[in-house]
Chains A and B, each alone.
Chain A
Amino acid sequence: MKFSWAFFFVFLSFTALAKVEICPTVIIHGTKEFDLTDNEKRLICGDKKVEAYRNIPPYQAQFFLTGFLQARSYLNPEFSIEGNILHVQLGEKSSLKKIIVSFPHDKIRRFVRKELKRQYLKKDITPGLLNSVESEALSLLRQRGFACVKVASRLNPESGVLNLNFEQMGIFDFGKIQKEEIEGLHKNALIRFYPMKEDEKFDWRLMDLTEKRMLRAEVVQGAYFLEKCSPQGDAFDLEQKFLVGPPRTLRFGVGASTEVGPLARVRWSNNRSGSMASTLSAQLEGSYRTQSFELMADTFFWKHRPRRSLVSRLEVTRESQIDYEQLLFKTSPASMKWTEDHGGHHWTWILGPSYEYGTYHSQEKAETRSFSTGVLEGSLRWTGHRYEFFDVHPQEGDELTFEFGLRDTALGFMTRALRLDSSYVTVKRLSSWGRGLVIGGLRVVAGTTWVDEDVDPVTLPPLVKFFGGGSDDVRGFALNTLPKADGAGALSKFVLKWELRRTYLMIPTLEAFAFFDHGYFGEKSFSTLPQMYYSPGVGLRWTSPIGIVQAYVAQGKSIKPVDDFGYNFFIGLGTTF
């Protein structure tokens, strides 16, 4: 025992005596290993190549070194100067032990504190960490109307206690936004891009979403908001400015896609046509599986109804899938389109007539058939702003899509057919797990084509039928191979997809996920067969610079009757849950 104590004290002595000589004028005690970057060394030891920085006085070296040590979480160093030598007792690294949030609203204070603790507690303290904490706190508050809120943090390096104090805690609506005028555009032309209203509570994310919408539509090259708060924080104004670029682009190229194989594409678009910034585009695209030509005009005629437009489309598509082939000419001369932002969601309605002409055949029916028909089509999309905020891989929010297409013998179709298709997805942050989040997702897909009972589905063209399987459907099965891999398709479909994700798996951009997809298909309208196709699976997603790369393995099975379709392994670009 005595030996152990002796060893302990000897060890302590050696530790205390340990030192690192950064340079002859700066010595760090209490550690055997400590390194600084070349830039840092020059700033505390001097730079022989630059006369003005050749000699650094010890007090200046101490000043610089304090900052360098803070950046390495050494917040309690002790300095002493002997002659021209700076001695530094390094001390221990400091970690964040407690966060005190001073905010008058209890509910919000608890929420902010909880969120900050989840993300930052026990982490080594650096100025960068303090920046992150302040930034996150402001972000959370500015989502809740506190437009002018300011934060000041103060950290006690000895106790590791961080105090966050807030000022200017007034809650504001967006109010009237002073928008910069764009030459040639009517003042109402861009209203359709704004998700917020004047009397809506301030949320910085909606400003960001406005900018995203404008950039996605390429109507301007850039947009930004200027926020103005009074010194006391009791008044708030918002101003918006634009960077206006050229409205037209012409692009043509050749390539390949994970879904359609090799492809070539020429696309022209004018994204700011006329005084209401209408969109005109033309695209010619060809791949091994599909070839298409499309003309589209989304014209905003009504200056005082800036969210209403007339969509005209002409499209020629040839699809050559594994088990069926289809050629389609389709024109929608005048579909009405309305958009609205309400209740935290973006609504889009489209309704209008179309004309279709097509030929098709499949493995089941090798004989080529044709059809010529008028169609009354409509759709409703309901996208949560939170969902829309994410460009690639939503982590929260919901979206509902409903589409219908009515074809009838009176319009030239072979039978009366009403195709109804809907999809609803909701994604929610369930809890935190380490530095990451646990996210739950549910997607419901329901669709049916309403036809007379005596109609043989095999005789119908693929565009009024439903298929399943693939990376964005029941994932244990290959693309469009459900219910049968014969191209016959189904008249009804009901799919439920469950997914559980854990983000920040070792690195921020890697997430793991487990899922269970199951679906029913039916050969008749509004009914499905008892056979349930299901596929449990696990996978990884990586947000790479070129998009989401995901890999998963899933088992394709069914009950009633029980069947095992084996494992389906997938790796590819993109994801749609």
Chain B
Amino acid sequence: MKRYFLYPILGLLLLILLILFTALGILFFRPGLVINPGMLERGLEKSALLDSFSWKTGEIIHEWKGWNDRIVKGRFEDFCIDFKSESLNAQTCLEELSWNFNIIFSLSSGLEVISLEPLKIRSKLLRIATFETEDKEEEEATPPDIKRYWSLLWGKLIPDMDISWDKILITPGTSPELELDLKLIKTAETLNVDVLDFNLAAHPQGFTLSAPPVYKLPLEKKSPIPLELRDFRVVGEMQDQGMPLQVLGGLGPLDIALQSFMDLPLKGPFTSPEFLRAFLLKFSGELKIINIKQALNKYGPENHKTLPAPLTTMNGSIISRLSTRPAENAQEVLLSALTTLDMSGGKQVLQMTAGVSAPFDVEQKSPGEIVVDINFKDVALLLPRVTKTTSPPQFTPDSRISKGPPQDQKKAAPGPAIDLRLKTPDQSLVALKSNLLDEALRMSFDLKVENGELQKGFVKIHPLKTTVFKRPLEVQDMLISFRELVDPVIEGSIYIPLPEYKITMDVEGPVGSPEVAFRSDPPLPQSDIYAVLLFGRPMADLAPEDKNSAQSIDQVLSQGILSLSVLYFLAGSPVEYVGYNPDSSEATAQVGLGSKSSLRVGAGDKGVSTTGVRHSLGKGWYIDTSVKKDQSATRQRGQNYGVLLERIIAY
């Protein structure tokens, strides 16, 4: 390089530096030359940052206290701005804008702003309108650094503030306009913000967000219940590694007590699996409905303000605790909720817990198999009173009858699998009280349901002594077992102590068509024990008032539809009722004709059954008119019919 080029360039650089230092010197010693309302006006005009602006009067004053110590104060009156962009419009007039700061610089502390007077803003109105842009591209969320922002807020450069907007009108797109007010007072150690009736009280170590004592949530269209927050507050504590958050308060009419603890991480992308996992793992909460009956009665949907029978006489609470914990799979978090229902009243109790747990895949952001574990701890419920002389009604509407289009389960969106387990814990029983039984029907069960289908488990009916149709009866260990892919199987025995015979009925087989075998003491063959269970005296001997029942019996008998299931009902004394629905071919019989007559009839369907009547004369003697079919190939072709007085013993 030629040297004669070097000198002019160095000279130019020196000149630039000289100008720069001169400017800085002027700015340093006489900042009012640059920072003043006029320059501000020109700067705003040149930058086109604002669509329009104006002020009535304005001044900015600089005071020299030392080379590193200045006072800057300013005051504007009716400072109006109008900002417009593609997504936001904002208009406001600040009736008062003033500040008085002492700006100090030291090598040890750096730049520092001391508020002699806070930044004061007084305005009556702020209008904000937001718009949705068409070509809105999803931007990747910038990981916020809450800790940094929080530190910045309490840093030396943020002055004290006293800001007040009487009215802020926000029009978010096409949504209805929101109206609120804002008062913000910040000092070096405190921040107090009032928006509507919410209050945020903060200090460098944390904050408290308080809702008004009663705050009605704007959810009229989404919730049938007018929800309102009561004594709601969120308390956060700023720590080095996180921000433990405590949510406290009550949710309106249902008396739901909110108490949630979560430890928010202060740094990292909110949408990342890591953040989501960390967030979920630190989440816990509790929901309480203290008074179910009152809440429903006061705020329940129209026409649903009371509990259904038999719960009408009961009241209690529901408490649900939500928690999370790490799952075995690193990309999953196990969400769990334990809900306790505790209701009682009117000699009824309903205590149960429902544990719900589900792994949540933070990568896929979807739940896995949901496991619902319902434990019936203490249940004693009354069944509706049923008249013995009529068959029970159809309690629930038949879901097959529906006006809607047929459900195509295959086309339905697959939801998460649900694994439901219903059980009674050890020593716990579900007791159902019915007017048909002398004692409560007590049962325990453990049932596993997967995707709506009962997979395995059992229902055990505990020993029960009762009198049905004036006959004593003891249920002994009745067990219904459910196995995967196989029809449920019933196994158990019922003991019927009759005057002349002690009969035990063993039931075993598929629930839909169980095999029933009888044992008796003294012993009788099974087919003949049927007889002992039935009629007490012949039709002809019935009292006149029993004739109607007898005619019903005739009808039932003529249909050939008496089956074993009916035999028991025929075993009582005296005749009470026999009903038959020819359309459904269902017989309901509640008959007792004494202890010495009996009937033996097989289930009748299209003439395939054996039938017969056996009339007991006592001491094991019967009159038998049953059909006997010859088993031998060489015998006569016909069948043998007769009336036989028989004494039968099996051994």
Contacts and interface: CB of A to CB of B under 8 A. Distances in A.
Contact of B386 (A39, A123, A222): A39
Contact of A55 (B312, B347, B647): B312
Contacts of A152: 400
B631 interface: yes
Contacts of B398: 67, 70, 127, 130
Interface in B604-618: 604, 606-613
Contacts of A259: 638, 640-642
Contact of A130 (B382, B400, B645): B400
Contact of A257 (B307, B312, B599, B642): B642
Contact of B633 (A258, A401, A507, A575): A401
B634 A227 contact: no
A545 B611 contact: yes
A13 B651 CA distance: 74
Interface stretch (A16-24, A46-54, A452-460): A46-54
A51 B633 CA distance: 66
A212 to B, nearest CB: 8
A231 B602 CA distance: 35
B310 A156 contact: no
Contacts of B523: 246
A206 B515 CA distance: 17
Interface stretch (B6-14, B98-106, B387-395): B387-395
Q: Chain A interface mostly helix, strand, loop or mixed?
A: mixed
A336 B583 CA distance: 50
Q: Chain B interface mostly helix, strand, loop or mixed?
A: loop
Nearest to B311: A52
Interface stretch (A185-193, A366-374, A388-396): A388-396
Given A50-B384, A543-B607, A248 B650 contact: yes
Contact of B586 (A40, A42, A128, A544): A128
Contact of B517 (A217, A221, A255): A221
B309 A58 contact: no
A254 B644 CA distance: 5
A296 B523 CA distance: 25
Interface in B627-651: 627, 629, 631, 633-634, 637-651
Contacts of B582: 507-508
B625 interface: yes
A392 B517 contact: no
B509 to A, nearest CB: 4
Given A254-B644, A256-B642, A507-B558, A55 B509 contact: no
A381 B633 contact: yes
B585 interface: yes
Interface string B111-147: 0000000000000000000000000000000000000
B85 interface: no
Interface string B313-336: 100000000000000000000000
Contacts of B562: 545
Given A67-B393, A127-B401, A395-B607, A50 B643 contact: no
A156 B308 CA distance: 29
A412 interface: no
A47 B384 contact: yes
Contact of B604 (A81, A221, A260, A509): A509
Contacts of B304: 57, 59
Contact of B390 (A37, A128, A251): A37
A342 to B, nearest CB: 16
Nearest to A508: B559
A53 B384 contact: yes
Given A55-B309, A59-B303, A253 B608 contact: no
B645 to A, nearest CB: 5
A222 B308 contact: no
B237 interface: no
Interface string A217-258: 110011110111111000000010101011011111111111
Contacts of B644: 253-256, 263, 265
A511 B186 CA distance: 100
A66 B398 CA distance: 9
Contacts of A217: 631
B406 interface: yes
Contact of B303 (A43, A58, A157): A58
How many interface residues does chain A have, given as a range? Answer: 35 or more
B627 A128 contact: no
B403 A47 contact: no
A391 B392 contact: no
Interface in A244-284: 245-246, 248-260, 263, 265
A509 B633 contact: no
A347 to B, nearest CB: 10
A131 B506 CA distance: 28
Interface string B20-61: 000000000000000000000000000000000000000000
Nearest to A163: B406
Given A221-B526, A245-B526, A546-B613, A39 B645 contact: no
A574 B396 contact: no
Contacts of A547: 611-612, 625-627, 641
Contacts of A123: 583
Given A128-B584, A403-B634, A255 B487 contact: no
Interface in A186-209: none
Nearest to A81: B303
A127 B400 contact: yes
B473 interface: no
A376 interface: no
A68 B393 contact: yes
A229 B634 CA distance: 42
A106 interface: no
A256 B645 CA distance: 9
Contacts of B633: 348, 350, 379-381, 401, 403
Of the listed residues B397, B526, B559, the one surrounded by the most CB atoms of chain A closer than 10 A to its CB is B397
A226 B489 contact: yes
Contacts of A49: 385
A126 B309 contact: no
Contact of A128 (B406, B508, B583): B583
Given A423-B637, A507-B582, A154 B558 contact: no
A373 to B, nearest CB: 17
B440 interface: no
Contacts of A249: 525, 648-651
A216 B631 contact: yes
A157 B626 contact: no
Given A58-B303, A128-B581, A156-B402, A574 B397 contact: no
B348 interface: yes
Nearest to A349: B633
A258 B611 contact: no
B640 A252 contact: no
A154 B406 contact: yes
Nearest to B409: A152
B390 A38 contact: yes
Given A60-B309, A131-B584, A263-B644, 5 more contacts: A51-B346, A53-B382, A246-B650, A251-B646, A253-B644
Interface of B: 303-313, 346-348, 382, 384-387, 390, 392-398, 400-403, 406-407, 485-487, 489, 506, 508-510, 513-517, 519, 523, 525-526, 557-560, 562, 581-586, 599, 601-602, 604, 606-613, 622-627, 629, 631, 633-634, 637-651
21 contacts: A37-B387, A37-B390, A40-B393, A52-B309, A57-B306, A66-B397, A126-B584, A230-B485, A251-B648, A254-B644, A257-B642, A258-B641, A379-B633, A507-B559, A509-B558, A509-B604, A542-B558, A545-B612, A546-B626, A574-B641, A576-B637
Give 10 closest A-B pairs by Cβ, nearest first: A253-B646, A257-B642, A255-B644, A222-B515, A52-B310, A128-B584, A573-B641, A574-B641, A127-B398, A545-B557
